[in-house]
Chain A
Amino acid sequence: MSAGWLLIAIIASSAIPAAIIFCLKESSVRLRTTLNLAGAGVKILLVAVLLYGVSQGNSYETRWQLVNDIDLVLHADALSLLFITLSCVLWLVTTVYAIGYLEDSPNRSRFFGFFSLCVCATVGIALAGNLITFLIFYELLTLTTYPLVVHRGTQTALRAGRTYLVYTLGGGALLVAGVAWLKSIAGPLDFTTTGILSSMTHLDPHTLSWIFLLLIVGFGVKAALVPLHGWLPKAMVAPAPVSSLLHAVAVVKAGAFGIVRVVYDVYGIEFAQDLGVLMPLAFVAAVTILYGSVRALFQNEIKPRLAYSTISQVSYIALGAAIAGPLATVGGLVHLVHQGLMKITLFFCAGNFAETLQVHKVGELDGIGRRMPMTMAAFTLAALGMIGVPPIAGFVSKWYLGLGAMDAANPWVIWVLVGSSALNAMYFLPLIYRGWWKQPQLANWRENIPAQRFETHWMLLIPPLVTAGLALAAGLFAGAQFSPLEWAQFIARLEYR
């Protein structure tokens, strides 16, 4: 019960800046920037304290009674730390990027206000200690990302926003139904590392399977499982920092994280396997992985290609969760972090191409490596990582997923991984080839920003370099202490106790 205030402080460190930013005038740029960065910095410090505390064996929890048998619970366990560390680091980076990206565009107070609230919701999801709390922050995330998706205010943006709402709130309603149902038969739903339900033998397995379906469909919308992925490519109309955040950290990850929570901490992996609900989930995840990759192949614009790639890559996490066995668990969990690092790099780079040279289409990338070598280098690194080239982070995830599949005697998963990697290579390698080796077609480029010391604004350049570096480091130093891999193994040991 010690130091529950720390958890509240972590949430407040983005909620308070958000509240102040909403009240700021459009013109008070410096104050807004300071608030944004201060919030992000303070949050990282607080999370560092939390990490240290948890690794020392302290437990952090805070409760607030809502109704008779429902508590709002914030709780820090190993799994939440994995997610929260990822989000607070990437938030800082994305904030820097967004400040550079949105320089001189209208409605920035509104944008950064919701941006901070969105992180507040993500962090709340990470720290939620039961399904109800999770649900609250999950819906809050939907509401706070809507203004970001429609930020540009064009007809297309508003339409995309509508689609986004239909999908996510529809999923949210199913989730409410699932949570309410589960609560009515099983009582309060605090997450435990071995699952709440595995100890309740009196419950009807049939009912539990239906509830599992409701919950997974509810989370699957945000995790963009096929056929619930329709909103994601459309949401690409949002500004680049939003796409990065949505794809790497906030929305799709919230969905994937929800699936992980349900499988491990509500049902318990062994119990879920006994119920026979994991195989269908693994199947859906596999279909999503292949479907996303195939669709990505046929996209002529960069951002939609990345969007379909996200659909595909995020399902690795669901796949890892759906295969019983500690190795697959490690693979899925570590991909939560690795995919975030790589995908955010790709989106930053795509944003840089668009912002600096008005390059949106694949064909316009020709020779861009000569004009923007550093951005292209970061892009190449992340793309290779996505394909699974060692020693970049993506390789580690795929390796463990493959081992896990063998371990659980599911060899077909290997073929899914191989097929997906081949497809990844087919849609990423042409971009890399064009960028470095083709002749530049200068007519395609329209210099969009005034000449700079670097190839583009420094606030746009630093973030992708940092995240690409992190993606490389996560692969290179996978065995080091506090590396994502090591942490995922720590979690897996807890889940299979």
Chain B
Amino acid sequence: MIEALVPLLVFLPLIGAVAAFIRERFGHGVALMVLGAGATLTLFHFFTMDHHGWTMNLGGWAAPLGIVWYLDGLSATLMTLTWLLGLAIGMYARTYLAGSTPFWALLLLMMSGMSALFLANDLFNIYVMLEIIGLSAVALVALANKREAVRAAVTYLMVSLGGSILYLAGVAFLYTQYATLDLFLLADRIDGTPLTWVALGLMGVGLLLKSAMFPLHFWLPGAHSNAPAPVSALLSALVVKASFFVVLRLWRDILPAQPDLLAWALGAMGVAAILYGSVQALRTPRLKLLVAYSTVAQLGYLMLLFPLSIQAGYAANAYAGVTFFMVAHGIAKAALFMAAGNLQLHAGHDRLKDLGQAAVALQPTLFAVALAGASIMGLPPSGGFIAKWTLLGVSLGSGQWIWIVVLLGGGLLSVAYIFRVLSLAFQSSTMPRRASGIHPMLQLVPLALGGIAVALGFNPMPIIEAITQAHAAAPQVTP
């Protein structure tokens, strides 16, 4: 029954985007209504649906001609995350970006693109959605209207277009061989010809470029740190994960084989990302850059999926752990960027060493950093801990000891950079405590998100079960 409402997740924000574009003044009203409705719908749907996978032929046309939508536990989890965070970011942006701004139209356009991306089950549809998401993300970065921001936006645009076009080239190479774009049909037909691997390689590089996976991360710190705070939150928490979701789908559903060497190489890339991102986050003098580099590092954990999922019997848990990681990181990272935005708003800059007074004045914000930070650090009992615990279990069970060191060592590195922020609150300052001058809403939203990031650790089963069920139903790559 409720499945009939799923198309609304794509069309409602699309209509809303047009409305918000035409009447910019009412943008926030329209957007918040759409976001509220979408968040309610996805949440309700997540808890009632069957996570084994559900197919819908759009307009009654079946594959290969028609567009087919597919929703399973994996995509539903990310869909729900997207809408809930979208709503939270909307509520934050309502206060942060006062006045009339194209933000709302772009936000809704992006929500529409993300929803359609999570639903898509054919390669070309995914391409179109990637472009929609990419272009609206670039426009959102350029909203800051400062020189650095626009410069970062131009770099981001080139990366985004380049990534999509590489992906499209791969799609074209696959189509001429197998004459289908549908993921499931492709899963049946695909075999390991050299051209197929070239195609998959192009798609993979394009997508990892968009996901800012080290060493293709170069554009992320600039774009994410120069954007306005709600935009940074949106990009770091959701956008990079959208393209990674496509990588996940390709790896899970259509790869002709999962070669050990490739899996380990991707895992090694992840380790490099964790190390590089953490070290940069430790060194940078700016708060927003610190948070952005933390994203570079945290994305590295997602790459552990590849080596961990090639062991028979552990794949489902590996997907569950990585997806849970995406959810926990998304929520925590949104909270961190909002908190950084508050500190910047209060102090007028984001130089870490001069933020002491702002940190003392904005105690709820710092508390939000502490809660979200606990999840990022993977301390129990938080969402981040459950994710890492699940991955630890897989590493131990499948005998891949090296990832244990990575998971725990990476956690310690994140402790070091998170406490660069937290220790600000404890610096003694002789200056009198100023009133915060920050709207309570701006502090409430990150605080609530931080709370959710920790609370996830107390009730992780719905998500883990959803992913496990989705994995059981997905087409299996035969090794």
Contacts and interface: CB of A to CB of B under 8 A. Distances in A.
Nearest to B378: A176
Nearest to A147: B426
A161 B423 CA distance: 9
B371 to A, nearest CB: 10
Nearest to A157: B426
A70 B381 CA distance: 12
Contacts of B386: 66-67
Nearest to B392: A180
A158 interface: yes
A152 interface: yes
Given A67-B460, A139-B380, A161-B426, A176 B396 contact: no
A176 B419 contact: no
Contacts of B380: 132, 135-136, 139-140, 176
A150 B428 CA distance: 10
- Main SS class of interface, A: helix
Given A170-B412, A180-B392, A180-B396, A162 B428 contact: no
Given A136-B380, A161-B423, A184 B393 contact: yes
Contact of A165 (B415, B457, B460): B415
B461 interface: yes
A2 B426 CA distance: 43
Interface residues of B, number: 32
Interface string B150-169: 00000000000000000000
Contacts of B357: none
A67 B409 CA distance: 23
Contacts, number: 78
Contacts of B367: 22
A151 B423 CA distance: 10
Contacts of A177: 392, 404, 408
A181 interface: yes
A173 B428 contact: no
Contact of B379 (A143, A153, A158, A183): A143
Contacts of A68: 461, 464
Given A143-B379, A158-B423, A173 B408 contact: yes
Nearest to B377: A169
A173 B461 contact: no
B379 to A, nearest CB: 5
A143 B404 CA distance: 23
A65 interface: yes
A184 B314 CA distance: 13
A176 B392 contact: yes
Interface string A4-23: 00000000000000000010
A157 B390 CA distance: 36
B181 to A, nearest CB: 37
Interface string B389-421: 110110011000000100011011001000100
A135 B386 CA distance: 13
A169 B415 contact: yes
Nearest to B373: A143
A154 interface: yes
A157 B426 CA distance: 9
Interface in A104-160: 110, 132, 135-136, 139-140, 143, 147, 150-154, 157-158
B57 interface: no
A390 to B, nearest CB: 44
Interface of A: 22, 64-68, 70, 72, 110, 132, 135-136, 139-140, 143, 147, 150-154, 157-158, 161-162, 165, 169-170, 172-174, 176-177, 180-181, 183-184
The 8 closest A-B pairs by CB, nearest first: A153-B428, A184-B396, A173-B408, A136-B380, A180-B392, A150-B426, A136-B381, A139-B379
Interface of B: 363, 367, 370, 374, 377, 379-381, 386, 389-390, 392-393, 396-397, 404, 408-409, 411-412, 415, 419, 423, 426-429, 457-458, 460-461, 464
